[in-house]
Amino acid sequence: MADNNFGRKLRITSFGESHGALVGIIIDGFPAGITIKTEFIQTELDKRKPGQSKITTSRKEADKVEILSGIFNERSTGAPICMIIKNKDVDSSKYEKYKNILRPSHVDFSSIKRYDGFADYRGSGRFSGRITAGFVMAGALAKHALKKMNINIFAYTKAIGEISDERKYEEKSFENLRTQRENSIVRCLDPEKSNEMVALIEKVQEEEDSIGGIVKCIIKNFPAGIGGPVFYSLESTLSHGVFSIPAIKGIEFGVGFEAATMKGSEHNDPWIIENERIQTSKNDAGGIIGGISTGMPIIFQIAVKPTASIGKTQHTVNISDMKETQLKLEGRHDPCIVPRIIIVLEAITAIVLLDHILYQGEFKLEGKNN
């Protein structure tokens, strides 16, 4: 599986399986001298872990971070940083029972063709959303570093199914929005819409089904001039990172697909001077033009598919006898993965942004008290 590394200057390596002993991450190229708070890493992990509420999987994992290298006296040393969490609440019996039956919209068939049947199928192994815990650990470090440049990342649930929060939050305080977000088990900022989303998820859960949604991400104070014009544009690398998160089916920057229905005079962002600073009067480009940051807030949205594991009876194939059959899945699954993806999206975004900054040599750590 030569597909577990990501980044140019800041390089992460993901390892572990859903039902193996552990999952973890190695971060190489992280600047030395950054203060690292283990409590913050744990807090980030707690936002992603299973069993958080009545609308998430009932799997119970402490997801307690263990730092094995690269951090000494709460400071990064410049050496590779290795962090792990151990898998405790593992029940692989259901996967053994159905190992020869292809689950609809799962990776079973593709994995068999790619790895000749040798890939770990328990809990979907390397293809499980559980590996994103490593992204969150690495993202917590990246957030520590980005904080030195006052760069802030905030994501929230914009939509579950057809229920959508259309309010604009770009000008709001992220600190207040984070508190508001965590008061909702679906991580929606509008309390009324939040209640509607919860009710919808509970309904599909009762029907032994699942549902998807949309997550919006806003990045403030990212400097202008970061990125590249072709293969390593900000859109390219952010999209690469985002599509490394299981269940993501789409991404759009700024007004995104709406741009296809607009005229140039409507979509173009006029340049203005405000407070002696060049910026745009609106931000339909989403803070990126020509693959390079403009200094305006970077804004993008991602589409999250319905969880593939559902309780409804579905048509499929048994590969042991090559016959079509029916499948009714058992086990512990999220009826909606959107709320848990929020923190994973922030993490992978932080990793991409820090990698770009380090690659261009824009990161500066001054003094010994940072």
Q: What is the pLDDT of residue 89?
A: 72
Q: What is the pLDDT of residue 53?
A: 67
Percent of the chain at pLDDT above 70? 95
pLDDT tens-digit readout, 85-108: 998 877 677 777 778 899 999 999
Residue 175: phi, psi to the nearest 5?
Answer: -60, -45
pLDDT tens-digit readout, 59-70: 667 889 999 999
CA 293 from chain center: how many Å?
21
For 91, 93, 98, 312, the CA distances from 331, given in Å and listed in that order, are: 9, 9, 11, 12
pLDDT tens-digit readout, 295-338: 999 999 999 999 999 989 999 999 999 999 999 987 778 899 99
Rounded to the nearest integer, the mean pLDDT of the chain is: 92
Range 5-359: architecture per CATH: 4-Layer Sandwich (3.60)
pLDDT for residue 158 is more than 90: yes
Q: What is the pLDDT of residue 368?
A: 47
What is the per-residue DSSP string for 275-335?
Answer: TTEEEESS-TTTTEETTEE-SSPEEEEEEEPPPS--SS-EEEEETTTTEEEEE---S---S
- Report the run of H or E that residue 252 belongs to, with start and end: strand 248-253
So where are the chain's domains?
A: 5-359
Q: What is the pLDDT of residue 286?
A: 97
pLDDT for residue 8 is more than 70: yes
Confidence of residue 367 (pLDDT cuts 50, 70, 90): very low
355-360 long-range CB contacts below 8 Å, 24 or more apart?
355/7, 355/8, 355/9, 355/10, 355/237, 356/226, 356/227, 356/232, 356/234, 356/237, 357/146, 357/149, 357/226, 358/9, 358/10, 358/29, 358/31, 359/8, 359/9, 360/226
pLDDT tens-digit readout, 252-292: 999 999 999 999 999 999 999 999 999 999 999 999 999 99
Q: Model-level pTM?
A: 0.93
* Contact present, 35 and 75 (Cβ < 8 Å): yes
pLDDT tens-digit readout, 136-152: 999 999 999 999 999 99
